[in-house]
Every structure is written in C-alpha cells, then in structure tokens.
C-alpha cells in the first residue's frame, strides 16, 4: 500500500503544480498516463486552434526539470474533442453495463432474479456493507440485515443468496441521492444534454473540480 501511495504521489509531483495553475478544462487529462510513465499534458490555445493532449516529457527534458533517462515513443498529439468523445462514450458504455446498487436491491426486493446466475462476474461488485445498510432501513428487513452484519465473514454469494431467499418480495424505496447530488445531476444533464440515467453515470466519474467548472460555465449571473 505504501508503494502504491508513493507512486501516485510521484505522478502528481511530476505536474509541477500544473493542475492548480491551469485555466482550461480537461475532462480526461488527469486520468491518462503515457506509455513512458509520464502523466499526459493538455494544451488549449483557442486563437491558434490548438486543442490536444500530449506527452510533456520532451519539453521537461529540454527545460531540465526531468532527467531520468526515459525515452518516449509518442510522436503525435491527440485531438482533445475527438479523444474525449471516444473515451467518454466508452466510459458510459462500461458503466451502463455494470450492475449497480439499485440492481442488487431490486433483485432482492422485487424481481427475485439471481443476478449472479445471469452474470457470474458481477459477484465482485456486490457490496455487503452497503446492501446491509440499505436493507436495515426497513423494519421488515432489519433483523436479516443484522444477521448478515454478525456473519460478515460469509462469502458474498452466500450473503446475497440469504437475502434473495429470505426477504419477502415487495417494493421498498430508499433515497439514492442527497440534495446536493441531485443539484449536481441537474447540472450534468444541462451541460451535456444527458438523460437522468446517463447523467447519473457521468456523475460517478466527474471530480469536484470538474463539477465546479461545469457549474461555473452554467452560471448565468443575477442575484443569489
């Protein structure tokens, strides 16, 4: 764990404070690493029609800020709008095919369909603590949730099967989003012209800084 933390810290330090100084919005810049191990940089110059992601290793070597013997094979830049579109659609596609919390709870409470039978790999996405917490909010489920809390060492499939075959079928509603999250959801919907479902998926990967940028762009002025 120490090694992982130090590696992430090293990658952040390589930016030389660039994240704090940047005035442009880069959707995926901080998630991309070049094959040489250098964090990807971004450059936007509207007046020169420059919008691209690139590996900044060569310019850092030129400025003598980095000299670790690395050699980068990235010779061309990536167009930002095109790259963002490809990556964004891929992320939304992956998230759209991921079994979410509401799917697990709907399976337990209403449909009684075994999601593990349908998608065996989905078991790794089952979060016992969260499921227990959600079900404990219902008076007819609290004892079952407490039973699973006391037997938290059981395998995930055993805990899921217990709920699936023990809890009586009925509709149970739980609050999915806090008020501030609902406001963020509306901002994402307006900014990207997304549906509720698509905006909810996007909200999972947008950072606080990116949400603040979106809110700033949507600000129309007036008295608050």
**Residue 91: predicted pLDDT:** 74
Boundary (domain end) residue, out of 25, 54, 85 = 85
Strand spans (E) along the chain? 41-45, 50-54, 78-79
Q: Is residue 92 part of a domain?
A: no
224 part of a folded domain: no
Q: How confident is the model at residue 112 (pLDDT cuts 50, 70, 90)?
A: very high
- Helix, strand, coil proportions of the chain in percent (round to 5)? 55, 5, 35
Domain shared by 105 and 144, yes or no: yes
Which of 85, 120, 147 is the C-terminal boundary of a domain? 85
Of the ranges 4-13, 71-80, 126-135, which one carries the lowest mean pLDDT score?
A: 4-13
- Any domain includes 171: no
Q: Is the pLDDT reported for residue 199 higher than 70?
A: yes
For 52-87, b/e burial (b = at least 16 CB within 10 A) is bbbbbbbebbeeeebeeeeebebeebbebeebbeee
Cβ–Cβ < 8 Å for 98, 92? no
Provide the domain limits for residue 148.
101-166
The predicted structure's pLDDT at residue 109: 93
| pLDDT score of 20 | 47
pLDDT value at residue 96: 59
Per the domain annotation, does 155 fall within a domain? yes
| Domain count for the chain | 3
Q: Which of 85, 115, 131 is the last residue before a domain boundary? A: 85
């Amino acid at each position: 764990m120490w090694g992982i933390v130090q590696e992430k810290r090293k990658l952040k330090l390589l930016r030389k404070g660039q994240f704090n100084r940047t005035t442009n919005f880069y959707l995926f810049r901080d998630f991309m690493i070049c094959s040489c191990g250098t964090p990807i940089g971004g450059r936007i110059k509207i007046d020169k029609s420059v919008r691209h992601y690139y590996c900044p290793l060569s310019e850092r070597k030129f400025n003598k800020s980095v000299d670790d013997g690395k050699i980068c094979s990235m010779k061309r830049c990536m167009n930002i709008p095109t790259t963002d579109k490809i990556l964004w659609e891929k992320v939304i596609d992956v998230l759209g095919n991921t079994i979410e919390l509401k799917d697990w709870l709907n399976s337990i409470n209403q449909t009684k369909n075994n999601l593990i039978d349908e998608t065996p790999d989905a078991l790794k996405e089952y979060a016992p603590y969260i499921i227990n917490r959600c079900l404990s909010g219902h008076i007819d489920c609290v004892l079952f949730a407490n039973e699973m809390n006391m037997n938290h060492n059981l395998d995930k499939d055993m805990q899921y099967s217990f709920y699936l075959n023990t809890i009586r079928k009925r509709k149970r509603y739980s609050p999915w989003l806090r008020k501030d999250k609902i406001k963020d959801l509306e901002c994402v919907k307006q900014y990207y012209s997304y549906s509720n479902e698509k905006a909810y998926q996007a909200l999972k990967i947008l950072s606080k800084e990116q949400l603040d940028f979106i809110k700033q762009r949507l600000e129309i002025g007036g008295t608050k």
